[in-house]
Chains A and B, each alone.
Chain A
Amino acid sequence: MTELHHVGSRAPRIDGLDKVTGAARFVDDLEFGPDLLHAAVVESPHAHARIIDIDTSTAEAMPGVVKVVTGRDFPFTFGLYMKDRYVFAQDRVRFVGEQVAAVVARDPAAARRAARAVNVTYQTLHAVLDPEEALEDETTLLHPGLGEYPHVPWFFPHGGTNVAHWRKTRKGDVDAGFAAADVILEDTYRVPRYAHCAIEPHVVVAEQDHAGRLTVWSASQSPYIQRDLFAQALAPLGLSHHDIRVITPYVGGGFGGKAGVTMEIIGAALATAVKGHPVKLRWSREQEFYNTYQRQGLVARIKVGARSDGTITALEHELHWDAGAYVEYGANVVNAAGLSATGPYRIPNVSIDSLCIYTNLPPGGPYRGFGYSEFHFGLESHMTRLARELAIDPVEFRRINAIGEGDELPYGAAMNPSGLIEAIDRTAAAIDWGETEVSPDPRKRIGKGFSLFWKAPAMPPNASSASFLKFNEDGSINITVSGMEIGQGYLTAMAQIAGEVLAVPPSRIRVETPDTDRNPYEWQTVASHITWSCGNAVQGAAVEARDRIIETVHAARGYEEGTLYLEDEMVKCETDPDFRLPLRDFVVGGLEMEDGTWRGGPIVGSGSFMPDFASAQSDPETSQGGHPNVHYTVGAAGVVLEIDIETGKMKVLRAALAVDVGKAINPTTVEGQIVGGMLQGLATVLYEDMRFDDEGRLLNPNFTDYKIPTSLDTPVRVIPIIVEVPQPDGPFGARGVGEHTMIPAAPMVANAVADATGLRITSMPITAEKVAMALLEPV
């Protein structure tokens, strides 16, 4: 493949027309007819309580009510990596907002009214809201059954404590590393919880028909995981994968919040209780905040030693995660951080402890960055501080220690190819690193901040993707896959990959959103892995179809297979320049022979991909020996920040982010990830955080009090920089990019605040208020 026509082009998104015209249908837009029922849930008002009694009699008698269910009807657990979560609370509730019961009624208002009439008697228990307290408190155990929950083999729960998983990574000799250091810096950093804030709330419609078939329409990143977890949880009702179908149309934003299974299990369970009727459950914006996954809070103690020449000799990183009431997904966030909390640095001596701690707050889970956004705040703040202590320029310090291809990763395997140094240099140039900028306004100071980042997909070693491809009579193509278009441009990327192989423009290729009955398997759309993983599957399907095309033309026209190639929607021949056979002439109907018989037939292709080098098997005390991560995507970011020293108000004058994507399948959508992810990251440091009262109630579950950026809150200028050092096992060299762009925003701002004012703020967010108050304090 010498010259690329579609891969690497700025082809307009193939879903653009749907979205700009309002034609795009989301789950809430689907019609289910007059028999559609509506559900409302009864929620725990307590962060921790025993359920003494549930009286549903009043609710059941209310007009319009079809069914009331409680945990007695569904005594089932579920979970992606650990089965610690309940469809409905059983003997106790563990966070404010947890589902205790549900009402199914003829209309939403009747369901809500009846849900309020369900009378639940609780005996409150002591609630632990702080991970450090939960770690120390041996009398308040959130999950006395922790030791018995089924879980993946790479989790290490500590039964009899609140530690649901403890990932230990040990490499080299940390004591010797610190002994060899000229400077050692230690500090603790705090990161609060955050909300995804996809504009589309979670919504599910489920129907079990009278033949027993359960169909679920959900706003999800994970149709196959949903089917699998529904089948596991509802197996006692006689359901298996064969009986369950999950359909996922367009999704209005995910960011990890719609990965796995959260409220959808309620819809699936309710459908089995009202057979023959579709049931709809749509989260309100408030529920969206307190009963889906939240980004976990983190307390991170970091100790790093370095020689005076800038070489890092040792790192100790202790991460205590506020993982919430259920950690079936969140424990893998903890795991991912525990394997990679060195950041993209070559460090010979490493000790990482990453602890997943139950608290009586809403369940933690995946959020863009998957642990890396959280730990980079402290780590990258720390690296700048250490450089300053060593009197080495922070960018130079990062160049000295940047991990390179073949370097040993924290768990012992070798680092993949990487353009980290190029990313550092181009980012530094974009923000004129080293040049001091002065505001003409004496009240304003300008600082610069820098941060590196890395992230690997966190997934089971056998996470896989598949694709089917078929040609249509006009030479256009339909591809079915089960990755989700959650905004990142995945459908377009898949069309570009197939289009490249088959010489068909992406605008003539439809890529269909998932239906588990029809679209082939995909693990799930998380981890920034589907361009890489599903891209390989789509490339495989396209190559298979191309082989069929070549075979057909060879069989019917006699040209040697090796001389035939595809170009401009035609088959051409190297030895016969006059031969030009349009694909539309034969990809369905075949080619006619002189005797009137036909050759060929409908051209289809299939592809599947699973990495054959990944392994989760390693020493639980050191994490050495396995290959849990398929590759890391790395990069650098920098910011020029203006601070009003009277009000603390900050303005991002310029922000640059360089990321090594291996190969940008579509530079426009990659830039979209950079600009959008950057703002989402900046919001976590400048504006957002979740505030809970001392009883575990979320105080700001709406966009009035949890402010996400508007079009007036963006940086003055964002400079996206694409670095392309190919990933050998990626489609056309591509590797993942979706999450990474959010990761460096918080530490680069912290570093810029320190640069401008001398203030080192070690807890997120860094709001104008916090900066102004800190500036008022006597030094």
Chain B
Amino acid sequence: MRHDIEMRVNGERRSIDVLPREVLLDVLRTRLGVKSPKVGCERGDCGACTVLLDGTSVRSCLVLAVEVDGHEITTVEGIEHDGLTAVQEALIEQSSFQCGFCAPGIVVAAAELVAGTPHPTTEEVREAISGNLCRCTGYDSIVDAVVAATRSAAHVGDRP
């Protein structure tokens, strides 16, 4: 039994029919061609599939597609659609990522943080990305870049 759902994905209205068991991650990747959320564990442990659901980060491998009917989904592609955010620029400038597989999820988690907390502390950044596993970097390079990007008084938060 298929269900028609409608959601906004990165600002664009998308209509699709899904089976009740289909998870959001698979629908985004294989049905809608949005590839930035990654398949890492399929059980909510690694955070590589993190997206924003109405501005709040969720693990898209744990969300059923039928649940997002009428809601708004934002991935890294939607976060940067007016150009790179200050956080992204700092992550590039400081060579924060290594293999980069976790990067889309971490950029999304960081965007959620700075939307509500424009000048986060190191501890707040660590807390915000603590659900996103990274095996390469030891995290410091990522945390430092997010803090550096948001330190200036002018920074008013990256729009999620």
Q: Which residues of A contact B (CB under 8 A)?
A: 10, 12-13, 15-22, 24-26, 28-29, 31, 196-201, 250-255, 282, 284-285, 485-489, 492, 666, 668-669, 672, 675-680, 702-704, 708-712, 714, 718
Contacts and interface: CB of A to CB of B under 8 A. Distances in A.
25 contacts: A12-B92, A12-B93, A16-B93, A21-B77, A21-B80, A22-B76, A199-B46, A199-B135, A200-B101, A250-B100, A252-B38, A252-B99, A253-B136, A285-B43, A487-B98, A487-B99, A489-B98, A668-B95, A679-B139, A680-B138, A704-B43, A704-B45, A711-B129, A711-B130, A711-B142
Contact of A712 (B99, B130, B142): B130
Contacts of A251: 99
A251 to B, nearest CB: 6
A488 B102 CA distance: 15
A378 B113 CA distance: 43
A19 B97 CA distance: 8
Contacts of A22: 35-36, 75-77, 103-104, 107
A109 to B, nearest CB: 9
A251 B100 CA distance: 9
A165 B102 CA distance: 38
Given A21-B84, A198-B99, A703-B45, A487 B94 contact: no
A26 B133 contact: no
Interface residues of B, number: 52
A680 B99 CA distance: 15
A251 B98 CA distance: 10
Contact of B103 (A19, A197, A201, A486): A19
Nearest to A288: B41
Contacts of A285: 40-43, 45-46
A133 to B, nearest CB: 33
Contact of A253 (B36, B42, B88, B101): B101
Contacts of B38: 26, 28, 199-200, 252
Contacts of B43: 285, 702-704
A746 to B, nearest CB: 16
B98 A16 contact: no
Interface of B: 29, 33, 35-36, 38-43, 45-46, 48, 75-77, 80, 84, 88, 91-104, 107, 125-127, 129-143
A677 B127 CA distance: 22
Contacts of A255: 135
A502 B142 CA distance: 32
Nearest to B126: A711
B48 A199 contact: yes
A199 B75 CA distance: 19
Contacts of B97: 13, 16, 19-20, 487
Given A21-B88, A676-B138, A710-B130, A13 B95 contact: yes
Given A25-B35, A284-B42, A489-B98, A253 B135 contact: yes
B126 A672 contact: no
Contacts of A13: 92, 95, 97
**Which 10 A-B residue pairings sit nearest by Cβ, starting from the closest?**
A252-B101, A19-B100, A22-B36, A487-B98, A487-B99, A703-B45, A679-B138, A16-B92, A675-B138, A22-B76
Contacts of B98: 253, 487-489, 672, 676
| Secondary structure type dominating chain B contacts | loop
A492 B92 CA distance: 13
Contacts of A196: 135
Residue among A22, A492, A703 with the most chain B CB within 10 A? A22
A228 B135 CA distance: 29
Contact of A199 (B35, B40, B138): B40
Contacts of B84: 20-21
Given A21-B88, A702-B45, A712-B126, A672 B137 contact: yes
Given A199-B102, A676-B137, A676-B138, A703 B41 contact: yes
B101 to A, nearest CB: 3
A199 B93 contact: no
A708 B133 contact: yes
Contacts of A708: 133, 135
Contact of B136 (A492, A668, A676): A676
B149 to A, nearest CB: 11
Contacts of B126: 711-712, 714
B140 A675 contact: yes
Contacts of A669: 95
A15 B93 CA distance: 11
B139 A711 contact: yes
Contact of B100 (A15, A28, A676): A15
B95 A12 contact: yes
Contact of A198 (B88, B135, B140): B135
A487 B139 contact: no
A677 B131 CA distance: 20
B47 to A, nearest CB: 9
A704 B62 CA distance: 15
Nearest to A484: B99
Contacts of A703: 41, 43, 45-46, 133
Contacts of A678: 138
A196 B75 CA distance: 28
A422 B1 CA distance: 69
A281 to B, nearest CB: 13
A196 B96 CA distance: 21
Contacts of A198: 99, 101, 135
Nearest to A703: B45
Nearest to A282: B39
Contacts of A714: 126, 138-140
A31 B31 CA distance: 11
Most buried by A among B38, B129, B140: B140
B75 A20 contact: no
Most buried by B among A13, A199, A702: A199
A16 B91 contact: yes
Contacts of B101: 26, 198-200, 252-253
Contacts of B39: 28, 201, 282
B32 to A, nearest CB: 12
Contacts of B102: 199, 252
A28 B38 CA distance: 8
